Amino acid sequence: MGVRHIDKQKCLRCGWCVTICPQDVLRRDENRYPVITYLQDCQSCFLCEKYCPAQAITVSADRERRPILPW
């Protein structure tokens, strides 16, 4: 699950996705591009995708690991 891909061709390097991520999943690299740094903590909330001014980010709700369920 989680943020899957950031398209460098489209990215404006504004850094807004890094600023707003509630889970601190994204950080900036030496060229100020956002990079997916802590994927294990992404909760697929879609904020980065929704607020990206260049539609450069793709998020998925699908999970690779089955969550712990009540039954």
Partner 1 sequence: MQILDCDVVVAGGGPAGTFAAVKAAEAGAHVILVDKAYVGKSGCGTFGAGSFKAYIKEEDSYDLWYGKAVEEGFFINDQDWLRQHFETIGDRVRDLERYGVVFEKNPDGTYNRIEGQGSSDVRPIKTLMFHGPQFMEVMRKACEKAGVKIVDRVMCVSLVHDKKNPKAIRGVLGFHGVSGEPYLFRAKAVVLTTGAQAYKSHYADLHMVTGDSHVMGLQAGAALCNYEFNCHQLTHAGFATHGMNISQGLGARFVNALGEDFTAKYDPEYASHGNLWRISASMAMEVHFGRGPLYFDYSSYTPKDWELFARTLPLMFRSYVQAGYVTEDGVCRKGKLEWVSALIGNVGFGGGLWIDLQGRTTLEGLYAAGDASYGPTSGVEGFCAYAMPAASTTGTVAGQSAAAYAASVGDVALDEQEINAAAWAMTEPLRHPAGCDPVHVVLAVQEALFPYDVYILRTEKKMQQALARIQEIKADDVPRLRAVDPHGLRFALEARNMVLCAEAMLTAALYRKESRGSHLRLDYPEIDNENWLKWIMIEKGADNGLVLSTRDIPIDRYPLRPTCRRELHASIAAARKLGENI
Among the listed residues 8, 10, 13, 63, the single contact to partner 1 using CB under 8 A = 63
Q: Are 24 and 15 in contact (CB under 8 A)?
A: no
Among the listed residues 3, 6, 11, 21, the single contact to partner 1 using CB under 8 A = 21
Report the C-alpha gap between 59 and 44 in whole angstroms: 7
20 or 54: CB nearest partner 1: 20
Among the listed residues 20, 35, 39, 54, the single contact to partner 1 using CB under 8 A = 20
DSSP strands (E only) in the chain: 2-6, 26-28, 34-36, 57-60
Report the C-alpha gap between 56 and 10 in whole angstroms: 5
> Where does this chain bind partner 1 (CB under 8 A)?
1, 19-24, 27, 37-38, 40-41, 43-47, 50-51, 60-63, 67-71
